[in-house]
Every structure is written in structure tokens, then in C-alpha cells.
Amino acid sequence: MLSTQARRTRLDELFRVKAATDGEIAQLLCEEERTESFRDEGATSTETWVVERYGVAIATARTLTHVGTKSRRMPKLAGALCAGEISFDKVRAVADVVTPRTDPELLEQARRCSVRQLADVARTQRDRTVRPDTRSEHERRFCRFNDDHRTMTVQLPAEAYAATRARLDAWVRRVPDEAKTPLDQRRCDGFMEIMASGGVATTSPYFVVAHVPLAALVDESGTTDLAGELERDGLIDRETVRRLACDATIAVAVDDDVGHTMYEGRNRRFPTDAQRREIMRRDRHCRFPGCTNVTFTNVHHIVPWKLGGRTDLPSLVLLCRHHHQGVMHRKDWSMSGNANEKLTFVSPSGHVMTSRPSPRWASATATATAAAAARP
């Protein structure tokens, strides 16, 4: 039996070899697709030929072939894959949106980001290039039922989604649960009770957060167009803010010149509500590398407050309960860095991993920084 270190070293090498092998297979399948030599063996496509000849699933054959056909417009990504520097899944995540012009930039993103983050990057790129759906959110709404599985699938406009989630979560917080029922089941219970009561709410479910640049507060021209943000959804225009704010709870988060909520330093130990919302917007989920836990997370100091840690955004990070215990209490891991840029996690054995903010948040910050630098 191998030691832990020897096993990890071997796995590192095998995954590098696997990435390089997948890259070479994809490029060879690209040639197979281009020459259509698969027809010599009676196959109707490269995918069916690979399935028959090598005994793989059709999904595997299709993915390898698809990435291979895209490799010509992403020479740098393809080269890094064939060198075993990045994984096949990372290349696959951006293969549909990469161009020769964006190839170098996406390679740098692939080196820094997780597969999930790259999927977000690709989604953002796709939204910019794909012809937008001209239907309004209201026109795209639907509610579908599957009688065999007794399930519902619902597509809601942003406002309705925010209201529905807020109402269900408010019910979960209000109703005691001594049996420790799973959250999804509690939400289902809340949904059934709200339906049984006619869906009547006594208070507004909206909590409106307006992220306001500091310059907007001193703009006397009246031309500044402020935007709000629906938690877990996205920016909304000023008219929507006004409509929701009629009877909603409102919070104004004053931002500095690069879009960060103002800092608290050593003035207080616990983050403000505005800081918590901004950290959720930045991190999206637990920042421990590879962890996607969203539900059971909380904001923690990178340097403990008792040891001089500051209650500022760069010093605060979203961690799930499991990784908070492992990093902050059991001291099995060490954590350091600037949460707005890059965090470094070091294991007890010395293995180093890094974590970066959501690419969407980082992109918005970069835009704000450039705008601030351009101002006279």
C-alpha cells in the first residue's frame, strides 16, 4: 500500500497524463471528423465510430469530438491541455465561446478558476454574443407539471422569484423545527401551508439593496442612474427599484470608487448586513477550493478578530460550517491572502490551493476600477 504522499504524487501524475491524453484524443478525432475516414468502417459519424470501436458512451464520444473540432480556434487552450497543464473539463467548459482573440485570456482564466467558475464565464460570454430573447420576463414565465413524478417546474420573472423565495425562507425561519427536518423538505412544507392559506402575506417579502457609488450621493445634477440588486439574482433598473421599494425593507450599501462596501476596520467585530450581502455577491459559495456549499455558510475573518483581524471585505470570507471548523478551529489548514483577489489554503502536509472571487464580481470590480482611474 502506498503512503498518502506517494499516492497523491501518483494521482497528480496520472491526472496530468489523463489531461494530455484527452487533449491528444480530441485533436485526433478532429482529424477523423475532417477527413470522414470513419465512413470506411461503415459508421455514420465520428461519435458512432468511437462508440463502436472503443466501447465508450455516446456522451463521452460526442464531448471528445466536439472539443476536438473546436481546438483549431483555441490553440493556446488546446496546447495547455495536451501538455497536461489544465483539465479537459476546463477546456470543455469554454469550448463553445472561445475565439482566437479570447483564447489567451480564457487560458489565464482556466489556470485560475474552477470548472464551475469557468462555466459562469462562458455563460457571460454567451449572453454577450447570442441574440437576446426579445420576449419579456413576464412572457417567458411558465409552470409545468409532471404527473408521473409529482413534480413542478416553474420559470418566474425576477421579482416573482425573489418574492417566492423570500416568503418560503421567512416561513422556515418562523416555524420551529425540533425534528431537524432537511431544508428542502421544510420549504416544501412552507409551500403547502402558503398554498392552503391562499398565499396571503401580511408584510412585504422584498428586501431591496441599492448598491450606490459614493459619487452618486453627492451628485447634484440629478442625472445619476442608480441600480438595485435582487439578492441571488442580479441588477434591476431604477423603475423596478421604485416599484419594489413602495412597501419593502430598503438598505443602501455605500460603495467606494471600485464598488466595495465601505470598510469597518477595528470599529466592530462582526460584519454589517451590507458587508454580508456584498461578500455573498463576491464569493457566491464557500471559498474553500472545490466547495460549492451555499446553504450552510457564514462570514468569517481570515485573521481572527481577537488577533487583530479587520472587519473589511479583503479580510472577510464566506466559509461553510465544515471548512470553517477545519480551517479556523481545528487548525488543520492555514488560510491567508486578500479575499477580494486571491486566497491561499495550505494543508497540514504543505499542499497549496488557491481560491478567487466570482469572475462576474471580479469583472464588475475591474470595470469600476478602470472608470475610477479614468476620472480627472
Average the pLDDT over 190-201 and give the result: 74
How do residues 321-363 score in pLDDT, each as one tens digit?
888 886 666 667 889 999 999 999 888 878 888 899 988 777 7
DSSP codes of every residue in 190-256: HHHHHHHTTT--SS---EEEEEEEHHHHT--SS-----EEETTTEEE-HHHHHHHTTSSEEEEEEE-
User: Amino acid identity of 259?
Assistant: G
Cβ-proximal residues to 123 (8 Å cutoff; 6+ apart), any chain: none
**229 neighbors 235 (Cβ within 8 angstroms):** yes
- When the pLDDT of each residue in the chain is averaged and rounded to a whole number, the result is 80
The span from the CA of 360 to the CA of 328, in Å, is 27
Q: Which three cell numbers stand for residue 368?
A: 469600476
**Quick one: CA dihedral 215, 221, 222, 225, positive or negative?**
negative
Whole-number percent of the chain with pLDDT over 70 = 75
> What's residue 198's pLDDT?
66
The number of beta carbons lying within 10 Å of the beta carbon of residue 115 is 16
Tell me the range of 12-26, 112-126, 209-223, 354-368 where mean pLDDT is highest: 12-26
Phi, psi of 236 (to 5 degrees): -130, 155
143 three-state secondary structure: strand
More confident residue, 275 or 21: 21
Does pLDDT of 232 surpass 60? no
Phi, psi of 345 (to 5 degrees): -115, 130
How do residues 233-245 score in pLDDT, each as one tens digit?
555 555 665 565 5
341 three-state secondary structure: coil
Q: Which residues of 66-95 are buried (b: 16+ CB within 10 A; e: fewer)?
A: bbbbbbeebebbbebbbebbbbbebbbbbb
Average the pLDDT over 247-268 and give the result: 58
Average the pLDDT over 24-31 and give the result: 94
Average the pLDDT over 106-127 and give the result: 87
**234 neighbors 190 (Cβ within 8 angstroms):** no
Cβ-proximal residues to 332 (8 Å cutoff; 6+ apart), any chain: 326, 347, 348
Categorize the per-residue pLDDT at 61 as very low, low, confident or very high, splitting at 50, 70 and 90.
very high
Average the pLDDT over 240-262 and give the result: 55
**Comparing 228-232, 303-307, 357-361, which segment has the lowest mean pLDDT?**
228-232
Does pLDDT of 24 surpass 90? yes
More confident residue, 228 or 162: 162
